[in-house]
Amino acid sequence: MSDNLGFALEGAWKVLFAGLILGAGLPLLFALGIRSLAWGAGGEAEVHESGVGGPKAQPIGTVIGWILFAIVLAGIVLGITFVVASGFGKALSFEHIYPTIIDKH
Amino acid sequence: MTESTVILALVVITALGFDFTNGFHDTANAMATSIATNALRPKVAVALSGLLNLIGAFLSVEVALTVTNAVVKIQNSDGTPKPSLTEHGGEALLIIVLAGLVGGIVWNLLTWLLGLPSSSSHALFGGLIGASIAGLGWAGVNWNGNGSKLDGVVGKVILPAIMSPVIAGVVAAVGTWLIYRVVTGVAQRFTDNGFRWGQIGSASLVSLAHGTNDAQKTMGVITLALIATGDWTDTKNIPLWVKIACALAIALGTYLGGWRIIRTLGKGLVEIAPPQGMAAESASAAVILASSHLGFALSTTHVATGSILGSGVGKPGAQVRWKVAGRMVAAWLITLPAAAIVGAVMWFLGDLIGGLGGAILIFVLLLVAAGYMYLRSRREPVGHHNVNDEWEGAPEPERVPAGSAS
C-alpha cells in the first residue's frame, strides 16, 4: 500500500506539471490570441461605452493573434502525434529541443 | 462445435456489448461541454466523437493483452492464461470473464439510466474482481501488486481514481481563471465565437485519446478468451477481426450518445460558457495524454468530471451544483464494489448449473436486465432534442430513490 502511494504521488506530480503546461498553458495562449484579434478588429469586438464607435482597429493585433493560434495549433498537432506515435510503439523525444519521433525503449 | 466454442461466442458477444456501453457511457466526457455551449449541434458532436473513437481504436496497436493483470490473477505475466483455468477448453476462465463482463455492463446501464457518469473501466475491473473472488477466492485478486511498481487494485484503480479528478480539476480551474483574466474587456459575442472553435479542437483530442485507451481493454479481454480456448496462440498480437469489431462497437456506442449522461455533465454540474468548455476539455486532454505517457492508469470519466468542476470553480461567480457533484462521487465510490457484486453473483449462478447451461443462464440474465433498463429509460427519454433543456425547473430526467435528487 505505502509503496503504491509513493509511486502514485510521484506520477501525480508529473501529470499535474504536464497538465498545467499543456492543459492550462495552451488555452492561455489561445485566450491571448482572441484578445489580440479583438484588439486588431477594434470596434464592436471590444467592450466600450455605448453610443460611440469602438476603439480603432489595430492590424498588428490580428497578426499577433494568428501567430498565437499557430502556436496553439502546433501544440495540438504535437498532442495528436503523441497519441499516434505511442500507439505504434514510438515515442516523442525532445532531446534535440524540437520534437522527433523515436523508437520506444 | 464444442461446448466451449459456444461459451467463447457468448464471451465475445458480451465483450463487444460492454465495449458498446463503454462508448455511449463516455460520449459525454468529450462532448458534453461542446453540446452544452452549442459549439456543435448534438448530432454533429456525437458523430464527430464516434468517428474519432473509431480512428483512435485503430491507433492503439500496443498489446493490451495483460489488461486484466492489474487487478486479477487469471493470466501469467506474458499474457497467457493460468494453466489451471484452461482445462476443459478453458471453461473456468471463460465463465469468470463472462460473469465479470456482465457485472460491468449491468452497472454501466444502471448508471446511464440514472444519468450518472461513472467509470467504465471501474465497472469492468469491478466485475472481473467480483467474478475472480467468487471463482478463485480472495487470493485471485491482485490487491497491491508486488511493490516494485504502481500495480494492483490499490495502485491501478483506487489511487488514480482519487488523484486524477483533483489534478484535472486544478488544471481546468487554473486555465479557466487565466482565460477570464485575459479576455476581460473583449466583447462576449466575440470571445464566445472564438472559444467555440477552441472547444471543438480540444474535445476532438479527448475523443481520440478515449478511443485509444478504452477500446484496447476489450480487445485484450477477447484475445485472452481466444487464447484460453486455444483459438489463438500469439501473445504479441491481437487478431485483426477483434480489433475491427472492438473499434466499431465503441464507435457505434459513442455515436448513439449517452444523452442522459451528456445532460448531467453539460448542464447539471456547471452552467458552462465556451471559455470554460475549452479550459475543461484542454485540461482533460492534457491530463489523459500525460498520464498514459507516464503509465499512470486512469479513468477518462473521472478526469472529465474533475475538469468540468474545475472550470466552474475557476470562473469568478460561476455556480457549481455541488449536490449533483456529490451524487457523482457517490456513484464512483460504489461502482467497483457494485459491479463486483453483480460479477460474483453471476459467477455463482453460472457455476451452480455449470458448463454451457451456466453460461447461457448468465447471458440470458444480462439480456433481461438490459431490456428492463432500456424500457425504463423510455419512460422519460433524454435525446438530442432535449439534452440542453434548462436544468432547474425542467422535469427531472432521472429518478433517484430516497429523494436524493436535487
- Residues B154 and B144 sit within 8 Å (Cβ to Cβ): yes
- The letter for the amino acid at B188 is Q
pTM given for the model:
0.85
Give the range among A2-16, B34-48, B152-166, B222-236 with minimum mean pLDDT.
A2-16
- Give the span between the Cα atoms of B284 and B300, in whole angstroms: 8
Tell me, yes or no, if B172 comes closer than 8 A to chain A by beta carbon: yes
Q: What is the largest CA-CA distance in chain A?
A: 66
Residues of A in contact with B62 (CB under 8 A): 86-87, 89
User: Quick count: other Cβ atoms within 10 Å of Cβ B139?
Assistant: 10
> Which pLDDT score, from 0 to 100, does residue A66 have?
92
- Give the span between the Cα atoms of B248 and B241, in whole angstroms: 11
To 5 degrees, how large is the angle CA B5–CA B15–CA B380?
A: 135
Distance from CA of A11 to the nearest CA of B (A): 7
Q: Kindly report, residue by residue over B57-97, the tens digit of the pLDDT.
A: 887 656 566 677 777 878 777 777 777 777 777 788 899 99
Q: What is the largest CA-CA distance in chain B?
A: 72
- Give the span between the Cα atoms of B370 and A3, in whole angstroms: 40
Distance from CA of B176 to the nearest CA of A (A): 8
ipTM tops 0.85: no
Select from A20, A47, A86 the Cβ nearest to the Cβ of B186.
A47
> Which pLDDT score, from 0 to 100, does residue B378 have?
86
- Which of these, B50, B38, B30, B27, lies nearest to B195 by C-alpha position? B38
Select from A28, A45, A72 the Cβ nearest to the Cβ of B182.
A28
- Give the span between the Cα atoms of A33 and A64, in whole angstroms: 7
Percent of chain B at pLDDT exceeding 70 = 92
Cα-based distances in Å from A14 to A11, A80, B35: 5, 20, 31
3-state secondary structure of A58: coil
Query: Which residue has 481504436 as its cell numbers?
Result: B57
Cα-based distances in Å from A39 to A28, A62, B40, B138, B188: 16, 8, 27, 65, 14
3-state secondary structure of B183: coil
Tell me, yes or no, if B137 comes closer than 8 A to chain A by beta carbon: no
> Which pLDDT score, from 0 to 100, does residue B63 have?
54
User: Using 50, 70 and 90 to split pLDDT, how confident is the model at B177?
Assistant: very high
Reported as half-sphere exposure (CB side, CA atoms, 13 A), residue B374 has a value of 8
Please list the alpha-helical segments (H only) found in B232-273.
Answer: 240-256, 259-263
- Give the span between the Cα atoms of B142 and B146, in whole angstroms: 9
A90 φ/ψ sector (left φ>0, alpha ψ -120 to 50, else beta): beta
- Which of these, B322, B186, B198, lies nearest to A61 by C-alpha position? B186
Residue of B nearest to A46 (CA): B186
Q: Which carries the bigger pLDDT value, residue A30 or residue B398?
A: A30
To 5 degrees, how large is the angle CA B166–CA B309–CA B31?
A: 110
Q: Kindly report, residue by residue over B183-214, the tens digit of the pLDDT.
A: 888 888 888 888 988 889 889 988 988 887 78
Reported as half-sphere exposure (CB side, CA atoms, 13 A), residue B20 has a value of 15
Cα-based distances in Å from B387 to A41, A67, B165, B262: 35, 37, 24, 7
Q: Residues with Cβ < 8 Å from B353, sequence gap 6 or more?
A: B361
Q: Tell how far CA B61 is from the center of its chain.
A: 20
Contact A8 B182 (CB under 8 A): no
Q: Kindly report, residue by residue over A51-103, the tens digit of the pLDDT.
A: 666 677 788 888 998 999 999 888 878 877 776 776 666 666 666 666 677 77
Q: Kindly report, residue by residue over B305-361, the tens digit of the pLDDT.
A: 999 999 999 988 888 888 888 888 888 889 999 999 999 999 999 988 878 888 889
Query: Which residue has 495549433 as its cell numbers?
Result: A73
Q: Rounded to the nearest 10 degrees, how much is the dihedral formed by the CA atoms of B348, B353, B357, B359?
A: 10
The packing angle between helices B300-314 and B188-228, to 10°, is: 160
> Which pLDDT score, from 0 to 100, does residue B403 have?
42
- Give the span between the Cα atoms of B137 and B132, in whole angstroms: 7
Contact B154 A27 (CB under 8 A): no
Strand-pairing partners, residue A91, are: A102
- If you write DSSP's letter for every residue of B73-120 in order, what string do you get? -SB-TTSPBPGGG-HHHHHHHHHHHHHHHHHHHHHHHHHHHTT----H
To 5 degrees, how large is the angle CA B184–CA B187–CA B191?
A: 80
Q: Residues with Cβ < 8 Å from B317, sequence gap 6 or more?
A: none
Residue of B nearest to A28 (CA): B179
- Residues B373 and B115 sit within 8 Å (Cβ to Cβ): no
- The letter for the amino acid at B134 is A
**Could you tell me the three cell numbers for B72?**
486479477
